[in-house]
Homo-oligomer: A and B are copies of this chain.
Amino acid sequence: MGLMTARKITDLTWRVGGPQGGGIETAATLFAQALARGGWWVSARREYHSNIMGRHSYLDVRAARRPTKAFFEQVDLLAALDAETLARHLGQIKAGGVLVYDPAAAKLPLSKLAMLDGAAYRRISAQLGGGDPPVERAVERYRQDGAVLLPLALTQLAREVGQALGVDAITAKRTLNTVAVAASLALLGYPSQPLVEAVGAQFVKKPKLAELNRKVAAEVYRRVEPLADRRLEPVGDGGERLYLNGSHASAMGKVAAGLGFMSYYPITPATDEPFYLEAHPEAEVVVVQVEDELAAVNMAIGASMAGARAALTTSGPGFALMTEALGFAGITETPLLISLYQRGGPSTGLPTRTEQGDLRFALGAGHGDYPRAVLGSASVEESFYDAALALNLSQRFQLPVVHMMDKYLASTTRTLEPFEADKIKPEPGLRAEGATGVFPRFSLASEGGVSPRLPVGAAGAGYWITSDEHDEVGHITEDPELREAMMEKRAAKIEALREWLGPEEMYRVYNPEAGTLVLGWGSSQGVALEAMEGLDMGYLQARFLLPFPEIGDLLAEKKLVVLDYSQSGQFARLLTQETGNKPDHLIVKYNGRPMTIEEVRAAFEAVLAGTAPKYLVLRAGV
């Protein structure tokens, strides 16, 4: 078989698809860990429906000899664990790539796929010539498109191996994932040892399962290895590297900056962070699940007023319930960090898909004018350092900070060098020591709008805090002059913060000499950088959205392109608002799927060729 023989493998994408709840995440972890242990830089992204069991889900694992930043649309190897995967991923295998599937699943007619929704059914049926085609016709189409077919009776294989090992049918079926991974790795000629180790790590708390899966893997290797015609080699060892996702990184970043308190209300994809901290008492964070997001945010504010470093995570719907409290933190100058994990909006929208559509909301959230900072992370690694920075900022400037994350970051897992946690110091903030009596918590004699803090409950002193406009000790005032002074004091934080950060923290620019500059923020960075390799293009990543970096000079006389995960191009509007510049091209995506390197590359080439429209929608994605 001609599996990728022509070129040395430097970059490989493996996809596994199957029903939600069927364990394909485990499959992806095993595959990724096996390669990571062999020194490959791996990353895995996950697509799934808002459903607990049964609907279609898939993961892509990319392995490369160098760290990567994004994913391709087309895969080298697709392991289809069910018929629906076969139907849905038409056109997704590279020419010369491999389709591993179970021929038994391919017998079904399309209409028998219970979880295939109407729109997908109609589209696939049309692609396959109409009517109610059997899924086999899809397999045939993959073949026509240049994929190598590798029919393997996966389910039967799992059963047989299970039987051989003396386990019952249900348990045996649970090893299907290991079967798929082992078959794929064996096909690629990758040694089995790293997989065996990965299995051990995966089932470390369930030795029996570990044993079973190891044996399954060995047996599959025995059967499939002969089919491999090339060797995917380990390129080293995993070394000290970590394998984690944006949620983990963000949680760790906060811990590094001294996080003490986190209240939460469950919501996808934001609560992986508190769950993670809750499950790890070694983080020493008081984590409290509460009755709703109103409670979550106000409880964190209370904890912060008492002197704890407090943060919380949420996504759009929950953030919507927090906007009143955001202004409360603003007027009371209370440090508060909210990580906003964006997902497909509006409203409940696409709860498990990615988007950057909450930017405008975050920037304007809360009535009236008050200082806040908004920053966005572009990668798992940045998530760590930014979370720490964000928490520190909130402490130093005594204001609410919104740290923009998204579903893509939350559910993208990658290998990384360990974080340099010891380089991060919890920002002490300006504290008043030994104050007694009535304390001017909101003193106007402040620099950069920051008055010394004393937590509530500090012995011997006292003051008030109110959501109303107030005087220096925190009593309500409606005096026009005092009001003006307080507004001006609070507003001063923004420029002080800008100065403290410096331009390096506020934005990053790549290849600034190029005549065409792509601008964006957050998750669109990685794919832009990979897509523009070798092109005469630069990229500017706005790390801070508020305050907005002073980038006007960099834009002069360039062709400007904005790349954004939102239909209206929210970042483009912000750019115009802040600099007066309107982009020449706005490239957006809003179908909830991550941008692929191929489609972004094509769009960039069209821009350079002068054939791109002003508004261009990226539509790739399964």
Contacts and interface: CB of A to CB of B under 8 A. Distances in A.
Interface of A: 49-50, 117-120, 123, 315-317, 319-321, 323-324, 327-328, 330-332, 342, 344-353, 355, 357-358, 360-361, 363-370, 466-469, 471, 475-484, 487-488, 491, 566-568, 570, 573-574, 576-578, 580-582, 590-593, 617, 619, 621-622
A477 B580 contact: no
28 contacts: A49-B478, A50-B468, A117-B477, A117-B479, A316-B367, A317-B324, A321-B321, A330-B347, A331-B348, A344-B368, A346-B370, A347-B366, A347-B367, A347-B467, A348-B468, A358-B367, A358-B368, A364-B364, A369-B570, A369-B590, A480-B593, A480-B619, A483-B590, A483-B591, A487-B590, A576-B580, A577-B577, A580-B582
Contacts of A469: 344, 349-350
Nearest to A480: B591
Given A331-B347, A346-B366, 14 more contacts: A50-B468, A117-B475, A119-B479, A316-B367, A316-B368, A320-B324, A345-B369, A346-B369, A347-B468, A361-B368, A364-B364, A480-B591, A483-B591, A491-B567
A401 to B, nearest CB: 16
The 7 closest A-B pairs by CB, nearest first: A345-B368, A316-B367, A346-B368, A364-B364, A320-B324, A577-B577, A480-B591
A320 B479 contact: no
Which of A123, A369, A487 has the largest number of chain B CB atoms within 10 A? A369
B367 A364 contact: no
A468 B349 CA distance: 4
A546 to B, nearest CB: 11
Contacts of A332: 347
Given A347-B467, A591-B484, A342 B316 contact: no
A344 B120 CA distance: 51
Contacts of A320: 323-324, 327, 366-367
A321 B478 CA distance: 25
A511 to B, nearest CB: 26
A592 B483 contact: yes
Contacts of A477: 117, 119
Contact of A367 (B342, B488, B573): B342
Protomer copies:
2
Contact of A577 (B475, B576, B592): B576
A483 B476 CA distance: 49
Contacts of A482: 119
A573 B577 contact: yes
Given A368-B358, A580-B576, A331 B317 contact: no
A357 B483 CA distance: 14
B346 A481 contact: no
A497 to B, nearest CB: 15
Contact of A617 (B323, B331, B484, B573): B484
A478 B350 contact: yes
A495 to B, nearest CB: 12
Given A367-B357, A471-B119, A484-B591, A346 B321 contact: no
A331 B349 CA distance: 8
Which of A321, A332, A487 has the largest number of chain B CB atoms within 10 A? A487
A352 B619 CA distance: 50
